[in-house]
Amino acid sequence: MAILVVGSVALDTLTTPAGKVEETLGGSAVYFSLAACPLDSVRVVGVVGPDFPKAEMNFLASKNVDLTGLVTGQGPTFRWEGVYGPDFGDAKTLRTELGVFAGFEPRLPESYRETPCVFLANIDPELQLRVMDQISSPGWVAMDTMNLWIDRKRELVLEAMGRVDILLVNASEARQVSGSSNLFEAGRFLLSRGPRFVVVKMGARGAMVLGGKAPFMMPAMPIEKVVDPTGAGDSFAAGMLAYLSGSGSELNLGNVARAMCYGSVTAGFAIEGFGVEGLRNLDSQAVSERLAYYLSTNQLDRIG
């Protein structure tokens, strides 16, 4: 089929214990697209400035990514700078320059409106709701969010949750929006707000999905050398959702759990290089080979 992603396209400056890179390709829509394109075709809605490198635009176009919905605004491309501590934990933001992203108003091309599968990255919930108003009878919609929007626009975040099929959040976001320190209770609260499935990302501890008779825990992909965790969550969502869209799988717990295995694999590739370097040459064969290793290592071969 095809999957639509609405999110940021950025140029990042990143410092981790492994080193530093400047003005490297980033943004939620980019990480998602590159991690998803080996599994299904991707359509992007986002905005860049005239200063966005032409070489990177050509690179994205060379992948299985439709850039019809990526517009060029008046002003600089969104830039973000962050630094990670010695344990590769949450990044400390040093600089955020929204540029054209500050006035981002997602408008779906006519050819995108009937895309069967949709991922709303962690943009303003007002924008997520406007995108959903433009979609025509999707098979399913998934969304992400972030602490900033939960803090500033919690009611709108909850409203958006009520209109999606799959919610992806990290552990701190789940606790923040639910008000519970217990992840199982937090997950059940989120599930009660409307999504059919809630996926809680827990970093190196893996992920958990709620929506069946009991929560299902999934281990993380073992990675020998972490270089940069930026974009790991978007890459996880990409592998998971692109498997579901590309395979046409029905939304049930077994298929979502298998999809999460793909997410663990694509997130693993993402963190092995700075920015999107670990995803630039990713193809379906590499995903399949690492998936087989992941399944056998964690004794998950029984997942259908």
d(CA 266, CA 260): 10
pLDDT value, residue 64? 84
pLDDT digits (tens, 9 = 90+) for 136-146: 999 999 999 99
Q: Write the Ramachandran bin of 75: left for phi over 0, alpha for psi from -120 to 50, otherwise beta.
A: left
pLDDT value, residue 299? 61
Overall average pLDDT of the 5-30 stretch: 98
**Residue 302: which pLDDT band, with cuts at 50, 70 and 90?**
low
pLDDT digits (tens, 9 = 90+) for 46-99: 999 999 999 999 999 999 899 999 999 999 999 999 999 998 988 899 999 999
**Residue 304: which pLDDT band, with cuts at 50, 70 and 90?**
very low
Q: Which residues make Cβ contacts (< 8 Å) with residue 236, sequence separation at least 6?
A: 168, 201, 207, 263, 264, 266, 267
Residue 301 in this model has a pLDDT that exceeds 70: no
d(CA 186, CA 191): 9
pLDDT digits (tens, 9 = 90+) for 117-132: 999 999 999 999 999 9
Overall average pLDDT of the 200-223 stretch: 93
pLDDT value, residue 195? 98
Q: Read off the amino acid at residue 235.
A: S
pLDDT digits (tens, 9 = 90+) for 182-204: 999 999 999 999 999 999 999 88
Biggest distance spanned by C-alpha atoms of the chain: 52
Residue 39 in this model has a pLDDT that exceeds 60: yes
d(CA 74, CA 293): 46
Whether the pTM exceeds 0.75: the reply is yes
Dihedral of alpha carbons 144, 147, 148, 149, sign: positive
Q: Which residues make Cβ contacts (< 8 Å) with residue 143, sequence separation at least 6?
A: 119, 120, 128, 160, 161, 164, 166, 167, 168
The answer to whether 49 touches 77, Cβ cutoff 8 Å, is: yes
Overall average pLDDT of the 96-116 stretch: 97
Overall average pLDDT of the 38-45 stretch: 98
Residue 213 in this model has a pLDDT that exceeds 60: yes
Topology (CATH level 3) of domain 2-145+226-297: UDP-N-acetylmuramoyl-L-alanine:D-glutamate ligase (3.40.1190)
Residue 42 in this model has a pLDDT that exceeds 50: yes
